[in-house]
Amino acid sequence: MKFLCLGYLNEEAFSAEPEEKRAAILKECLEQCIPFRATGKVRDEEMVQASHASKCVRPKHGRPTITDGPFIETKEQIGAFFVIEADNIDEAIAVVSLHPGALMGEEYGFGIEIHPFQ
């Protein structure tokens, strides 16, 4: 079974840190990704650009309407996504629990949503 995992962060809080600190946090994230990827369950994984670089396409009067992101009022924005393959939600949780977004960055709103594919 496949699971879409969305990694969140508070862009404003993270961006407020000095460049050196952000670089150190990202380095730590990359190191923590080693055991996460070693599970063999990660099928795809990417960081995404800041929400201000995003667009949203929604229907309006039967036609697509394009707006700038972010799309909802929230402190957290999507910072990454990954797809894992696991036997069930419990195994998916075990794999996701190895991701840096589940282990660090509490002060920056790090967190991960897990969505089973249909």
β strands within the chain, DSSP E: 2-9, 42-47, 55-60, 63-68, 77-85, 111-116
CATH at residue 55: 3.30.70.1060
Rounded distance between C-alpha atoms, residue 104 and residue 111, angstroms: 9
Residue where the block lists tokens 């995003």: 54
Whether the pLDDT of residue 40 is over 90: the answer is yes
**In terms of residue numbers, what domain contains 93?**
2-116
pTM (predicted TM-score)? 0.88
- Band (pLDDT 50/70/90 cuts) for residue 50 is confident
Q: Cβ(55)–Cβ(66) under 8 Å? A: yes
Distance CA 94, CA 107 (A): 23
CA 41 to each of CA 9, 24, 57, 111: distance values in angstroms, whole numbers, following the listed order: 23, 26, 31, 19
* Domains contained in the chain, number: 1
- What SS3 class is residue 84? strand
Predicted confidence band of residue 89 (pLDDT cuts 50, 70, 90): very high
